[in-house]
Amino acid sequence: MTPRQKRLWTLVAVLVGLGLTTAVALKGFESNLQYFYDPSEVHGGKAPTGKSIRVGGMVAKGSVVREPGNLQVQFVITDFAESVTVKYTGLLPDLFREGQGIIAHGQLQDGVFMADEVLAKHDEKYTPPEVAKSLKKRHEGMGGSANAPASATTMEGTPR
């Protein structure tokens, strides 16, 4: 091969490689990007039904309901403007508790979020960033901190 041909083949090989890699990336992205919605967006009908998404917010005080001895649990997450009911069966993460910011993976069905996974990060001070941002936005929208729950103020300082 002349150097010129060699360069040409190298170029072709690199382009084919990049093309294949891009194809793999697009294939991977196809169904595996999960969008995040906060309770207000869910209420506003912005979140798709029957599609795998994430929703997040604070677990509302006094909202955790379960039959004694049953793995099924139901709770409400809120961004202090709107709220969404979440149903889940299984073990909740260590840091799950009322007043804690969480993210749930799952699907929206008839206005109820059927979660297949509930996440709370392993650090007390940590609030999932999407949740912190959404809470801050809604909180400001409500016009100041006068009637905001005390816990919302700590959310703004997070995380560190």
Partner 1 sequence: MIPEIGTLALLIALALTALQAFFGLAGAHREDAVWMRTTSAVTAGVFAFVLAAFFILVYSFITHDYTVEYVAHNSNNELPLIYRIAAVWGAHEGSLLLWVLILTTWSLLVSRLSKGLPDSFRARVLGTLGLVGFGFLAFTMFTSSPFTRLFPTPADGADLNPILQDPALAAHPPMLYMGYVGTSVAFAFAVAAMLSGRMDAAWSRWTRPWTVAAWMCLTLGITLGSWWAYYELGWGGWWFWDPVENASFMPWLASTALIHSLAVTEKRGLFRNWTLLLAIFAFSLSLLGTFLVRSGVLVSVHSFAADPSRGLFVLGLLLFFIVGSLTLYAIRAPSLQTDGGFAPVSRESFLLLNNALLVAAAGLILLGTLWPLIMDSFNLGKISVGPPYFNTVFLIPMLPLVALVGVGMHATWKRASYATKGRTLGMFAIGGLAVGGLIAFAFYGSYGVPLTIIGFGGGFFLMASALWEPLVRLWRRQPQARAAVGMAVAHFGIGMFVIGVSGVASYKIEKDVSMGPGDTATIAGYTFHFNSTNDARGPNYQAREAHVSITKGDAPVADLTTQKRQFKIQSNPMTHAGIAVAWNRDLFVALGDDLGAGKWSMRLQYKPLVRYIWLGGVFMAFGGLIAILDRRYRRGVVEPVTVEG
- Tokens 């010129």, residue located: 4
Are 122 and 107 in contact by the 8 Å Cβ rule? The answer is: no
Q: For residues 103 and 111, what is the distance between their CA atoms, to the nearest angstrom?
A: 17
Minimum distance, C-beta of residue 71 to partner 1, in the bound complex (Å): 5
**Residue 95 makes contact with partner 1 by CB under 8 A:** yes
48, 124, 142, 145: residue in contact with partner 1 (rule CB under 8 A):
124
Nearest CA to 58 out of 73, 75, 36, 35 is that of 75
Q: Assess 126 for contact with partner 1 (CB under 8 A).
A: yes
Peptide bond between residue 93 and the one before it cis (omega within 30 degrees of 0): no
134 or 147: whose CB is closer to partner 1?
A: 134
Buried b (16+ CB within 10 A) or exposed e, 13-30: eeeeeeeeeeeeeeeeee
When binding is defined by CB under 8 A, the residue of 7, 61, 66, 137 that contacts partner 1 is 66
How near is the Cβ of 23 to partner 1 at its closest, in Å?
9
* Least distance from partner 1 to the Cβ atom of residue 114, Å: 16
Residue 29 within binding range of partner 1, rule CB under 8 A: yes
Give residues with Cβ within 8 angstroms of 45, minimum separation 6.
Answer: none
Which residues here bind partner 1, judged by CB under 8 A? 1, 17, 20-21, 24-25, 27-29, 31-36, 54, 66, 68-71, 89-92, 94-95, 122-124, 126, 129-130, 132-133, 159
